Structure 1
Amino acid sequence: MAWWRLNRRCSWRRTEPAVLAVLAGLPEAAALLDAGGMVRAVNTPLQAALGPTQPVRPGWPAERIFAPALRAEMADWLAQPGAAPRESRLAAPQGMPEAPVAIRRITLPRGDSLLLLQDLTPRQAAAEADRLQTLGTLAGGIAHDFNNLLTVVLGASEDAQRLAGAADPVLAAELTQIRQAAGRGALLVKQLLAYARQQVLAPRLVPLNEAVEGIASLLRGSGQRQGVALEVALDEAGRMVLIDPSQLDRVVMNLAMNARQAMPQGGRLRLSTGRLVLLSPLPGVPDTVPPGRWTVLEVTDTGGGIPPEVLPRIFEPFFTTRPERGGTGLGLATVHGIVRQSGGFMVVESQPGQGACFRILLPRVDEPIADSLPAAPASAQPACHPAGPILLVDDEAPLRRLAERALRRAGHDVVVAEDAETALALLEEGLVPGHLVSDVAMPGMDGVALARAMRARLPRLPVLLVSGYAHAAVDGGLEEDGIRFLAKPYGPAELVAAVGEPVPAE
């Protein structure tokens, strides 16, 4: 029991045992203060929140309980006996997040007071979950509409560039800029979806050491910043993680690029792998890691470190410390979203002047790779034109025209429909398509339902679903049904290539 008996003289002697008993029995963090705002005693929950490196001593000014940046304003608040309840943050052990608390002060007889500090971390976690859900819904809608627009821009500019050809190099150069701008817009949408954990992932078992070695070779080959040495320290070979390999590359490359920018005068960038067993939760920024067996990937630099007041905000979307250098504030938010959507957690540790360490913890996978990867199809048909016409279904007329033009130019026979009901009516009239290409999100019946309705009549019908609404692709187990997916925005050539992919034989 972390409390002290103080000043056992005079009338305090009668009331002290009862007050200290109440203090010790409170489930939330609390402190007993004297009339001058000095600490008389604290209970066990408060001492646990402050950590063993900050033992509270009798006679401390009460503002020392709080985060250093807030102590001046907390001293002013404590000096006002009737001040209204407020929120603040507790002091934290070095490298740990400052716990948010709601504070109330109850005046006791003879000028003493009880300071009650309710932990707001669960409430903030729930609010963050609600915010992510709202953002996910918003990002999904933005992705659907924006990617439809970008598909039109990419497709039209690609067609215009093909028609311009070498006859008008100036126009061709302008069209190239349009396509590049559309590509950057598509990347921005993907970053938003990654932060909102709504992107479509293709996880598989990946040998972590091999992946890190591959990224290290890219970093060396891309021209390491002058004076920045790259070190690689790998755990035992064969350690596997379940993650989308392209997204793992994206995470590490993003962190490595940030680390290099943090060392303009040179330094050391270290990529390392390891393992960790946690018997109790590990609090950190931005995540508290639950107990379990973890495979660890660390990206460490020897740069100037991250200021304590900035550290809790670096994973917020659109927060950047480098706006003058084109920072969007989505890089670390994207990285965190990818890690969390992959079942992992992140913890960053940094001290001014001592660099930063970004630690990624992914669930440990112990089964052999051969037992977990999906079996490859026994045989596949070579890529070729389908036996019947392609049935193209999309409710957006510009997209429908672009897709039809691209497929016809590639030599395909195409029948178009503006919605699922029209497509099914064509089947009733005798159409036997050789391939279905359909948008996912459409008024009335969506593309997934259309694909299954058509498969009920034509079980071997190849199906390609396209969508700018990324999370629609994960609903309903498309891969198990042999239905392929192409994300918008796509160029005409990508659509033609996707239609021409081999179809697994049954």
Structure 2
Amino acid sequence: MPPGAGRDAGEPGGWALLAALDLPMAVLDLGGVLLRGNPALRRLAGPARGLAEGRPLAAVLDAPSRPLLDQCLAEVARGGQPAPFDAALTVIPGQVAPRLRLHPLSLAPAKILLRVEDISAEAQAQAAAEAEVRFAVIGRVAGGIAHDFNNLLAVIGGAAADALAAPTDAAITEDLRAIAAAADRGARLVRSLLGAARQQVLLPRPIALGAVLTEAAPLLRRLLGPAGALDLVLATEARPVLIDPAQLDQVLLNLAANARDAMPDGGRLRILLDEALLVRPTVIGATTIPPGRWVTLTFQDSGPGIAPEVLARVLEPFVTTRRAQGGTGLGLATVNGIVLQSGGHLAVESPPGEGARFTLFLPRAGQREAAPPPAPAPAQSAPLLLVEDEAPLRRLSERTLARAGHAVVAAEDAEAALDLVEQGLRPGLVVSDVSLPGMDGLALVRALRQQVPGLPALLVSGYAAAALGVDLRAEGIGFLAKPFSPPELLTACQKAAHGTI
């Protein structure tokens, strides 16, 4: 603060000095009424809040901030010097309310000089850090649950499919189909949870979004229903993006379903594909987009929009406004998890009267080094090494593979598998769970390849944290998500053995 400004800020000379400052400043009386407010303060408050001299400052503060202002005023009335405190302005629909730090200074007679500091960026960074902590906790919990739960679902679904292959009466067949369907629903729920927790193994490749959207348009229109309309606005020059195609499908379907739910009586969903060059960090809603060249994909619906109290947390897991209709709060969280894991960002806005707008900022696909050609698959007579620590699933997988003609050698962990190879086993294919006691499946494959160069490999898991961040395709390793059916296991083994992963 300039020397002398606090001493006579309420007088004409002092006020002229403060009015020229670029720092938001105000003079209040002991009732909290604004006597003076400089142009910087009015710019910070914005025209919609109507900050005017003669109006109580509390009128432009949110409800939790008003008692803090009252305590400040009471302290000044007692002759004390109040400490700085944090507050927020009232919420304007479609906007993020600025966070403030108010620095009060007692003036004589019976006035308060208030320096206002905009700490919105600091508060946003703190909120993002707290959200990261919540995501990390969810990720650890989801990972542990998913591994065990997917093992159970793999046994249930696999056993049901195995039993369905044998002749039986109609009633038992119907029960087995119901069991298999329930296992499949459970598997989808676990995949959503892993997506929200950013714990999926992704297999990205360059994707032309324009072609994907054109192909998906009929399905998206059916998803919106007869009362919904779909507009596609596709920039033909948009570069390919690097993303897992299966996860991209889930993103498109989830965002379209979200738009449908926001427009139960019909409406219009507009999908825009474009590119953006950001030269500095850009804040959109509660998301900060780093500088760079991005491909943007925007979903704009014509629904009622998102309430301000929900907008700030709409991407968090288990946050839903449709709990009574069966909403789990995992749809948008899963989309956000997929986008973040793919190196992108998801921004959410809800301008007044314009519905909700979800914009994906996706990294452009660069030139990737070609993966080395796979080594020729060993002769079909070579045994298949199966490594699985869950005994029921190991027995089920072994039976499925043996029925298909494979000579299977099973091991319960990586150490046992390595012992078999040291004793002379030369497998033609290794199929291993990722999460094993001791050495994990990825490390096992790498160790086995030191003894059996070019060994084809297939990793299976519902929780593959050990392989996250690793390009499995570049290493010539196949991946099969748990739970899987017997035919899916056989197909994945065939692809891995012949280098067509």
* TM-score, length basis structure 2: 0.85
1:155 and 2:145 matched: no
CA deviation after TM superposition for structure 1 residue 48, in Å:
6.2
Supply the AA of the counterpart residue of 1:321.
Answer: T
Supply the AA of the counterpart residue of 1:338.
Answer: I
CA deviation after TM superposition for structure 1 residue 7, in Å:
13
**Residue in 2 aligned with 1:306?**
306
Question: Percent identity among equivalent residues?
Answer: 46
| Aligned CA distance change for structure 1 residues 46 and 416 (closer, same or farther; 3 Å) | farther
1:192 and 2:183 matched: no
In the alignment, the residues of structure 2 paired with residue 430 and residue 160 of structure 1 have an alpha-carbon distance, to the nearest angstrom, of 36
Q: Which moved more, 1:43-52 or 1:210-219?
A: 43-52
**Residue in 2 aligned with 1:421?**
415
After the TM superposition, which residues 77-156 of structure 1 pair with which residues of structure 2 at under 5 Å, given as runs? 77-80=68-71, 81-82=73-74, 88-91=87-90, 95-101=94-100, 107-113=106-112, 114=114, 118-119=119-120, 120-156=123-159
CA deviation after TM superposition for structure 1 residue 17, in Å:
6.7
CA deviation after TM superposition for structure 1 residue 210, in Å:
0.9
**Residue in 2 aligned with 1:430?**
424
SS in 1 for 2:109: helix
**Residue in 1 aligned with 2:80?**
none
CA deviation after TM superposition for structure 1 residue 471, in Å:
2.4
| Aligned CA distance change for structure 1 residues 168 and 103 (closer, same or farther; 3 Å) | farther
Provide, for residues 21-43 of structure 1, a one-character-per-residue CA deviation record: whole Å limited to 9, x for no partner: 9x9597xx765433221234567
2:498 to 459, 483, 503: 503
**Residue in 2 aligned with 1:456?**
450
Provide, for residues 393-444 of structure 1, a one-character-per-residue CA deviation record: whole Å limited to 9, x for no partner: 1221111111111111111111111122222222232222222112222222
In the alignment, the residues of structure 1 paired with residue 286 and residue 434 of structure 2 have an alpha-carbon distance, to the nearest angstrom, of 35
Q: 2:203–2:472: 8 Å Cα contact kept in structure 1?
A: no
SS in 2 for 1:443: coil
| Aligned CA distance change for structure 1 residues 124 and 363 (closer, same or farther; 3 Å) | same
In the alignment, the residues of structure 2 paired with residue 202 and residue 481 of structure 1 have an alpha-carbon distance, to the nearest angstrom, of 12
Q: 1:89–1:98: 8 Å Cα contact kept in structure 2?
A: yes
Name the count of aligned residue pairs.
Answer: 484
Provide, for residues 274-302 of structure 1, a one-character-per-residue CA deviation record: whole Å limited to 9, x for no partner: 22333443322341223333222111122
Q: 2:384–2:408: 8 Å Cα contact kept in structure 1?
A: yes
**Residue in 2 aligned with 1:470?**
464
In the alignment, the residues of structure 1 paired with residue 310 and residue 469 of structure 2 have an alpha-carbon distance, to the nearest angstrom, of 38
Supply the AA of the counterpart residue of 1:184.
Answer: R
CA deviation after TM superposition for structure 1 residue 15, in Å:
9.8
Q: 2:25–2:116: 8 Å Cα contact kept in structure 1?
A: yes
Q: 1:205–1:372: 8 Å Cα contact kept in structure 2?
A: no
The RMSD of aligned alpha carbons is: 3.5
Q: 1:286–1:346: 8 Å Cα contact kept in structure 2?
A: no
In the alignment, the residues of structure 1 paired with residue 469 and residue 41 of structure 2 have an alpha-carbon distance, to the nearest angstrom, of 45
Provide, for residues 236-259 of structure 1, a one-character-per-residue CA deviation record: whole Å limited to 9, x for no partner: 245322222222222122111121
Q: Which moved more, 1:480-489 or 1:144-153?
A: 480-489
**Residue in 2 aligned with 1:183?**
184
> Where does the alignment leave 5 or more consecutive residues of structure 1 unmatched?
none
Q: 1:97–1:283: 8 Å Cα contact kept in structure 2?
A: no
In the alignment, the residues of structure 2 paired with residue 47 and residue 18 of structure 1 have an alpha-carbon distance, to the nearest angstrom, of 16
In the alignment, the residues of structure 2 paired with residue 175 and residue 35 of structure 1 have an alpha-carbon distance, to the nearest angstrom, of 76
Q: 2:302–2:354: 8 Å Cα contact kept in structure 1?
A: yes
SS in 2 for 1:348: strand
Supply the AA of the counterpart residue of 1:33.
Answer: L
1:250 and 2:244 matched: no
In the alignment, the residues of structure 1 paired with residue 91 and residue 290 of structure 2 have an alpha-carbon distance, to the nearest angstrom, of 19
Q: 2:198–2:337: 8 Å Cα contact kept in structure 1?
A: yes
SS in 1 for 2:337: helix
**Residue in 2 aligned with 1:395?**
389
Q: 1:215–1:253: 8 Å Cα contact kept in structure 2?
A: no
* TM-score, length basis structure 1: 0.84
In the alignment, the residues of structure 2 paired with residue 364 and residue 422 of structure 1 have an alpha-carbon distance, to the nearest angstrom, of 43
In the alignment, the residues of structure 1 paired with residue 38 and residue 376 of structure 2 have an alpha-carbon distance, to the nearest angstrom, of 69
| Aligned CA distance change for structure 1 residues 43 and 93 (closer, same or farther; 3 Å) | farther
In the alignment, the residues of structure 2 paired with residue 135 and residue 121 of structure 1 have an alpha-carbon distance, to the nearest angstrom, of 21
SS in 2 for 1:153: helix
In the alignment, the residues of structure 1 paired with residue 17 and residue 146 of structure 2 have an alpha-carbon distance, to the nearest angstrom, of 58
| Aligned CA distance change for structure 1 residues 19 and 146 (closer, same or farther; 3 Å) | farther
Provide, for residues 68-108 of structure 1, a one-character-per-residue CA deviation record: whole Å limited to 9, x for no partner: xx34x544543343479765433466533224456665544
> Where does the alignment leave 5 or more consecutive residues of structure 2 unmatched?
76-82
After the TM superposition, which residues 478-493 of structure 1 pair with which residues of structure 2 at under 5 Å, given as runs? 478-493=472-487
SS in 2 for 1:358: strand
CA deviation after TM superposition for structure 1 residue 184, in Å:
1.8
Q: Which moved more, 1:416-425 or 1:475-484?
A: 475-484
Q: 2:433–2:460: 8 Å Cα contact kept in structure 1?
A: yes
CA deviation after TM superposition for structure 1 residue 266, in Å:
2.1
In the alignment, the residues of structure 2 paired with residue 212 and residue 102 of structure 1 have an alpha-carbon distance, to the nearest angstrom, of 46
Supply the AA of the counterpart residue of 1:208.
Answer: L
After the TM superposition, which residues 263-302 of structure 1 pair with which residues of structure 2 at under 5 Å, given as runs? 263-302=263-302
Q: Which moved more, 1:310-319 or 1:89-98?
A: 89-98
In the alignment, the residues of structure 1 paired with residue 247 and residue 457 of structure 2 have an alpha-carbon distance, to the nearest angstrom, of 26
